[in-house]
Amino acid sequence: MPQSVLVLNGPNLNLLGIREPEIYGRETLADIAALCKDAGKRLGLAIDFRQSNSEAELVGWIQEARGKKAGILINAGALTHTSISLLDALLASELPVIEVHLSNLFRREEFRHHSYISRAARGLICGLGSQGYVLALEAMARIVGDDAATGKNAPKAKRTK
Ligand code: DHK
């Protein structure tokens, strides 16, 4: 069974393709999901690709990922800049996290320059459009392979007594 990576997308990313295409591009979220699944096949990772406009739902999915998924890729949309709950959930997951953004946050408004969730991330890719998701999955495949070799993030042994 291939290891599974949770790819999370936050608010308004369901509107990709029609939403400010000069910033976010013309690809839809379904196009990006297909790119990620292709990359997953090549890298030997199962891709669990999801989107929600709800912070609570995203937190719930991150909590469920603990001990089940090999890692989390996250584009939290605007919650990147506001959500301590997402940061706490990502830290609690104890999983390798990579943060992705389609646009280059640092060429945009100042309020987009700060990310709460970066503190939980091994790395951050922004400004490379949908290609950023593929690059992040390539990095995740390496991280997951290295963690398996060192036993890091291995599921804790179940107590028998
Ligand atoms: C997506 C959003 O929805 C914005 O709120 C972020 C991010 C940037 C992106 O570039 O993918 O500020």
Which tokens belong to 58? 């995203």
Pairing of strands 71-75, 123-126: unpaired
**Apex CA 11: angle with CA 102 and CA 27, to 5°?**
40
**CB of residue 14 inside a 6 A radius of ligand 1:** no
3-state DSSP assignment of residue 152? coil
pLDDT confidence of residue 149: 79
Domains and CATH numbers, the chain: 3-150 (3.40.50.9100)
**CB of residue 100 inside a 6 A radius of ligand 1:** no
pTM (global) more than 0.85: yes
d(CA 74, CA 133): 9
3-state DSSP assignment of residue 121? coil
Give distance in angstroms: CA of 101 to centre of ligand 1. 6
Tens of pLDDT, residues 118-153: 999 999 999 999 999 999 999 999 999 888 778 777
Give distance in angstroms: CA of 42 to centre of ligand 1. 27
| pLDDT confidence tier of residue 156, bands split at 50, 70 and 90 | low
Tens of pLDDT, residues 7-64: 999 999 999 999 999 999 999 999 999 999 999 999 999 999 999 999 999 999 999 9
Residue 122 phi, psi dihedral angles, 5° rounding? -70, -35
**CB of residue 85 inside a 6 A radius of ligand 1:** no
**Residues designated catalytic:** 24, 101
Mean pLDDT over each residue of the chain, to the nearest integer: 94
Q: Whose CA is nearest to atom 5 of ligand 1?
A: 78
Identify the residue with better confidence: 161 or 67.
67
pLDDT confidence of residue 159: 46
Tens of pLDDT, residues 85-106: 999 999 999 999 999 999 999 9
Which tokens belong to 116? 């709460």
| pLDDT confidence tier of residue 158, bands split at 50, 70 and 90 | very low
